Structure 1
Amino acid sequence: MPHRYFTRELSNGQAALTGSDAHHLATVMRARLGEEVVLCGPDGLEYTGTVTAITPGRVEFSVNEGAPSKAEPDVAVTLFVGYPKQGKLEEIIRHSVELGVQEIIPFFSRYCVATPKKEEAKNERYNRIAAEAAKQAGRAQIPHVALPLPHFSDVCQALPRYDKTLFFYEGGGAPLRTLLTPGSTGRLALITGSEGGFSAEEAAEAASAGALTVGLGPRILRCETAPLAALTAAMLLTGNLE
């Protein structure tokens, strides 16, 4: 299988890799002129790139016409996840990217155990994890990990830009299968909580903002399990795990 790289230098049938990706392809993989790789551009399409030049710190390609990636879901899912403690967010990012999420937005809420600390530096690492997971999973896009929102009200204020929002509440709600069907497209937001869950006031605020309250069955799921269960179920019900 050809190696996969992401680049923003792609236009008019030409593309280039620089930095660590160029070093990896040229030095580690010992690329040769005429070798083919898969290039993913900022447009979310996949291209076959043929190596045309190798210079220190740069590899150049000619590319064919881009094509949509079969690995990208036809529903754009944003995962709002209550900020967990002890590095659990890295696990959530890695696996949700593999499952097809488009964006991950952590947030702090009333019962969060974790507190904000050096979030800008951590965000750089989180986005590197997302990029690595996207390459491993054969994605054509690198999902974005946003800086955490400081309050749950910020989550609610963001909801109007989504076609549908599902609020996963430990207090129960509508069965997920009644809200998502095969062929569902558009922008979907999923909201799951931290170790402490949500307050009744936060649940009411989410409902007032237009979120549909959903349950995940009678078992209590850990904060790192719930978002992955919710995302997997959403992908399955919309036909994106077939």
Structure 2
Amino acid sequence: MPHRYFTRDVADGHAVLQGTDAHHLVHVMRAGIGDEVVLCGPDALEYTGRIESIQGDRVLFTVSEGYPSTAEPRTRVTLYAAYPKQGKLEEVIRHSVELGVAQVVPFFSRYCVAAPKKEEAKNERYNRIAAEAAKQCGRGLVPDVRMPLPDFASVCAEFGQYDLVLFFYEGGGRSLRQIIADTPDAARIALVTGSEGGFAPEEAQQAAASGGVTVGLGPRILRCETAPLAALAAVMTLTGDLE
């Protein structure tokens, strides 16, 4: 498989790669004039890029006409994951990117064990993890990891952006399979999963009042790092994006 790089600088049949990715291409991969790589633009299009010139850690390409990435799901899924403790969020981000998530939004809720600490520095690392995972699994774009939302009310305030919001609750709820079957045109779906302590009853009520559909994940209690991945895999399967 040709090496894959992400750039926002693609226009008029040309593209530019700069910074650490350009350094890796030139100094680690030993690429030279005329070599080809896959370039992924910000629009989830892929381009075949042929190296035209190398200027230090800046590589210029001529590119083919862009074509849609076959690795990008038809359904745009955003994962709202309650902040777990002990670095578990890194694994959630890495594996959710592999499964096709479009965006990850951590948040703090009433029963979160973790507390906000150096979140800007953590966010830089989380986005690097997302970029590495996107390259490894052949994605056509790099999913964004947002700064964490401070409370559950902030999560519910964003429900209106989506065609369908699935609130995964340990107290159970409607059948996920039936919900997806009933909303075949939902192009933007949000998944909301809890922390080690789950959700408070008033948070479940707030989610429902804000338009979230309460869903269960079967008879077993899943760990907070397992639930978002199980939910995402299930939704991707039911929408046909894992076929």
The two structures have a TM-score, normalised by structure 2, of 0.98
**CA deviation map 1:177-235 (0-9, x unaligned):** 00113965411000000000001100000000000000000000000000000000000
Note the C-alpha offset of 1:8. 1.3
Whole-angstrom CA distance in 1 between matches of 2:45 and 2:172: 39
SS class of match (1:179) = helix
Whole-angstrom CA distance in 1 between matches of 2:185 and 2:225: 26
Whole-angstrom CA distance in 1 between matches of 2:11 and 2:31: 22
* Counterpart code for 2:100: G
Note the C-alpha offset of 1:16. 1.1
Structure 1 alignment gaps of length 5 or more:
none
**Structure 1 residue aligned with 2:188:** 187
Whole-angstrom CA distance in 1 between matches of 2:44 and 2:241: 17
Whole-angstrom CA distance in 2 between matches of 1:39 and 1:185: 29
Q: 2:164 touches 2:186 (CA, 8 Å); kept in 1?
A: no
SS class of match (2:157) = helix
Corresponding residue pairs, total: 242
Note the C-alpha offset of 1:32. 1.8
Note the C-alpha offset of 1:44. 1.5
**Structure 1 residue aligned with 2:143:** 143
Is 1:21 aligned with 2:21? yes
63-72 or 174-183, larger mean C-alpha shift: 174-183
Is 1:235 aligned with 2:236? yes
Note the C-alpha offset of 1:33. 1.3
* Counterpart code for 1:180: I
Whole-angstrom CA distance in 2 between matches of 1:152 and 1:185: 23
**Structure 2 residue aligned with 1:118:** 118
Q: 2:172 touches 2:215 (CA, 8 Å); kept in 1?
A: yes
**CA deviation map 1:30-76 (0-9, x unaligned):** 11211110000112100000011112111111001001001000000
SS class of match (2:180) = coil
**CA deviation map 1:107-162 (0-9, x unaligned):** 10110000000101100000000000000110011100011111100000010010
Note the C-alpha offset of 1:88. 0.2
Whole-angstrom CA distance in 2 between matches of 1:111 and 1:186: 31
**Structure 2 residue aligned with 1:108:** 108
Whole-angstrom CA distance in 2 between matches of 1:44 and 1:71: 9
TM-aligned CA distance change 1:239 to 1:101, over 3 Å: same
* Counterpart code for 2:221: I
Q: Which 4+ runs in 1 deviate beyond 2 A?
A: 181-185
Q: 2:119 touches 2:147 (CA, 8 Å); kept in 1?
A: yes
Q: 2:134 touches 2:142 (CA, 8 Å); kept in 1?
A: yes
Query: After the TM superposition, which residues 1-242 of structure 1 pair with which residues of structure 2 at under 5 Å, given as runs?
Result: 1-181=1-181, 184-242=185-243
* Counterpart code for 1:192: T
Whole-angstrom CA distance in 1 between matches of 2:122 and 2:39: 27
Percent identity of the aligned residues?
Answer: 67
SS class of match (1:61) = strand
Q: 1:184 touches 1:238 (CA, 8 Å); kept in 2?
A: no
* Counterpart code for 2:90: E
* Counterpart code for 1:28: V
SS class of match (2:134) = helix
The two structures have a TM-score, normalised by structure 1, of 0.98
Whole-angstrom CA distance in 1 between matches of 2:235 and 2:229: 10
Whole-angstrom CA distance in 1 between matches of 2:152 and 2:184: 30
